[in-house]
Amino acid sequence: MQKRIAIIGGGIVGATAAYYLSTLPGAQHLKVTLYDDGNGQASKAAAGIISPWLSKRRNQQWYRLAKDGADLYPQLVHDAQLGTEVYQQTGTIVTRAALPDLEALDALAQERQKTAPTMGTVQQLTAQEVQAKLPLLTNPQAGVFLSGGAKVDGGALVDALLTQASHKNLTVRRERVKLDQDENVVTSLGAQRFDRVIIAAGAWLPELLVPLHVRTDVRAQKGQLIELAVKDYPLQENLPVLMPEGERDFVPFGHGKLIVGATHEDDKHFDLSLDAAVTADLLASAQRLMSGLTDQNITGVRVGTRAYTSDFAPFFGPLPEHDRFLVASGLGSSGLTTGPQIGRLLAGSALYGGTPDWRNYEKPLATYLTSSLA
């Protein structure tokens, strides 16, 4: 007997869940339908750096989730046969202007490497050595290089995972859906009943859960980044990514494409319009690292909507008092790092059931989800 599973949201969590629901043992007995209209999706707009190991966040649950998410990527990339245009482990450089800060960063890296072998080698670099690894820079700072760091194109990753799942048991519906108080998914074809529903709708989760009388601690945040055409160095696709102190992230891809960003705009919420002032600010950040850039180098602007919680931590798991539903949200700017691990865990729970214990990764769901009837 086929089991019917719906996924609401086709970003990094939903796409990864769909992929695993097409490959895990027992997937042949599933019929999976994913709903997403694509409007404002954070993952589609994102180009991310997979390098969580030097984060100064005190939330150890988040760090374990992010570390395990980074660890999952090589296996996911291998199993899904993803190309270097999607994901590439090229190393990460994190810079500091002051020598004491650089020494402290290096010490942190050496300590965390003991429990995170995926970090690869750790190397302290002078400004000249940073420039040698990343010749696009004309104003380099000294930094710490982690060979295990990687870059990922969020849109390409989501598309690749959904395409593979669609060859097996996934149907993608490009539409926006709702829930009703009877726990149905309300689609353009009417109310549909599913055995399990994974809701991975990011910042749109609060409005989806209103019919179920659930309040959600999630807010929307606008993010923008720019694409630049730069000199195409030989083997540019192998250049490391840069997390510069005081500036926007610097992510070189192949064929002379450089991505700079992203912003964190709390007051813009679901606004997807391009903002010339923000574009100019992103360009100015790039210019402080690389001279000679002008607005003529800008080839595109990406805009998306992230989901954040009050404590900046993600949450995921079974929706209290609604056993057929699994939810995930609040991934923020680390969504491309934590999202695949969350999607994999939710897929396993949707397929096999049970009561998973994810306390190692998150606070109790009651921290973020409360009844609106109370």
Share of the chain above pLDDT 70, in %: 97
Q: State the average pLDDT over residues 72-88.
A: 92
**pLDDT for residue 267:** 86
What is the spatial distance between Cα 159 and Cα 151, in angstroms, rounded to a whole number? 16
pLDDT of residue 41: 66
Rg of the chain in Å (alpha carbons)? 21
CA contacts within 13 A on the Cβ side of 310: 6
Residue range 19-56, pLDDT digits in tens: 999 999 999 999 999 999 887 666 666 778 999 999 88
Give phi and psi for 6, each to the nearest 5: -110, 145
Mapped onto helix, strand or coil, the DSSP state of residue 33 is strand
User: Could you tell me which residues come within 8 angstroms of residue 75 by beta carbon, excluding any fewer than 6 positions away?
Assistant: none
Residues 338-360: what's their mean pLDDT?
A: 94
Q: For residue 374, name the pLDDT band (cuts at 50, 70, 90).
A: low
Mean pLDDT, rounded, of the chain: 93
Residue 328 has pLDDT above 80, yes or no: yes
φ and ψ at 201, to 5 degrees?
Answer: -100, 15
* pLDDT at residue 100, rounded to an integer: 96
CB 148 within 8 A of CB 71: no
For the segment 217-240, what is each residue's pLDDT rounded down to a tens digit?
A: 999 999 999 999 998 877 767 899
Name the pairing type of β-strands 150-153 and 87-88: antiparallel
Indicate the residue type of 138: T
162-186: average pLDDT: 96
pLDDT of residue 112 exceeding 80: yes
pLDDT of residue 131: 95
159 closest CA partner among 83, 262, 251: 83
User: What domains sit in the chain, N to C, each tagged with a CATH number?
Assistant: 3-44+155-218+311-371 (3.50.50.60), 87-150+220-307 (3.30.9.10)
Nearest 5°: the CA angle 29, 35, 39 is 155
Residue 27 burial (C-beta neighbours within 10 Å; 0-12, 13-18, 19+):
middle
Q: Coil, strand or helix: which one is 208? A: helix
Q: What residues does 242 pair with on adjacent strands? A: 93, 250
> Does residue 199 register a pLDDT over 90?
yes
In sequence order, what DSSP letters do the residues of 303-322 get, joined into one string? EEEEEE-TTS--EEEEETTE
pLDDT tens readout for residues 237-281? 789 999 999 899 999 987 889 999 889 998 888 888 889 999 999
When pLDDT is averaged across residues 81-89 and rounded to a whole number, the result is 90
pLDDT at 253: 86
Beta strands in 203-329 (DSSP E): 214-216, 219-229, 241-243, 249-253, 257-261, 298-308, 315-319, 322-329
Task: Report the predicted TM-score, pTM, of the whole model to 2 decimal places.
Answer: 0.94
Q: Report pLDDT for 42.
A: 62
